Structure formats: structure tokens, C-alpha cells
Amino acid sequence: METGRIPLIGEPLPQMKVLTTHGPKVIPDDYKGKWLILFSHPGDFTPVCTTEFYAFSKKYDEFKKLNAELLGLSVDQVFAHIKWVEWIEENLKQEVPFPIIADPLGSVSNALGMIHPNKGSETTRAVFIIDPNSIIRIILYYPQEIGRNVDEIIRSLRALQMNDKYKVSLPHNWPNNELIGDKGIIPPPKNIAEIPKRKKEYEGYDWWFTYKDLK
């Protein structure tokens, strides 16, 4: 990765030492062998962020079943994170089981492009999905004004895992696609000689659009 720019999809997450509500951590090293969902929020004690943390916490067991860990982040101090987590547990009756990075100097946020021009010094709503080899596989950005859909993050994680396992592409709204359901799309043929085999070996609409069961 070039110095001075944010990492991109397909590149390793830079190694950083961070302070979290669960103590110091080194990312991504402390998460090797697991998928990591690293997500930033604009600020503690804000309504939209509170709804997101409630949703992430409710779905935590689903992430765990997918061999994934959650790691939050904002530019708030660690004591603010701790108090906010306490507030969520006391008032919304929901434990927040994952750590939150405290980044008051913005070093982590700036390195990952989480602070955007004309949006002040707060972190935007970024999501990095990092695989067990510490490679960035998905980057999502949302503005401060719009909350994320945690189910879509889970869907994206599952799709990445199916891509790794079966070496296929996944269609719109997989596994509930209107055309092929929960099937996976076969990669394009590499040469003309492969074309006659395509519709014989797989289901499909044409030789360039074939698919198969993922079971």
C-alpha cells in the first residue's frame, strides 16, 4: 500500500495499536483467523448511533457463528464509550459484548478514511469487512444522517464466505435473488473453447450467465 492513502479492497489492513473498552489491542493481528467487522460511528450518546449499537449487539451471536468479531470505533474518549455502553445496558437492556476503539486524536480514523471533508471532525459511518488473512474485502460508507442495516452487513459477510468456499459470484440480494434464488454465478469463461461446455455443465440463461447450487 502506498504511504499517505487509505487502504483499498484487496489490500491488508494496516497494523495499528489501539485502545478499546476491552483494553489495548493490535489490529488486525489480534483477529487473525477470524473475520473482523470494523465499523465507525460519529459519536457516543447520539440517537442514530445508539440504534446501530443496539442492533449490532442483538446480532452479535450471528456474527460469532460466522467466525466474525465486531469492533466499533469513534473519536470519543474511552471513558465516554464505557459510560455509553453502560447507558445502553441499563436503559435498553442490551449488553454490548464487543470492544470499541477510542480514537480521540483521529490517527486510526484518518488512516482508514473515516473522517470526510465538510463533515467536521466526527467519524462517518464506515464499515470494513476484513477476512481471516487480514485482507480488506468490503468497504462501506454511510453519512452521519443515515443508519446502517446490520442484516445487510451479515448478508455481505455470508456472501464473501460463499465466494471463498465455492469460487462463485453472488447475485443481487443473494440468497433471495429474483432470477436464480440462492445459487452462485459461475465465473466467465477464459476462452472460446469453454463456451460449448457451459450450458451442458450448468444451469443458465446463456453461456455467459450460468450458475450452480451452493450445497
Active centre residues (catalytic): 49
DSSP string computed for 82-143: HHHHHHHHHHS-----S-EEE-TT-HHHHHTT-S-TTSTTS--EEEEEE-TTSBEEEEEEE-
Given a contact cutoff of 8 angstroms between Cβ atoms, the answer to whether 76 and 104 are in contact is yes
Distance CA 20, CA 133 (A): 22
If we measure between CA atoms, which residue out of 141, 126, 156, 168 comes closest to residue 62?
156
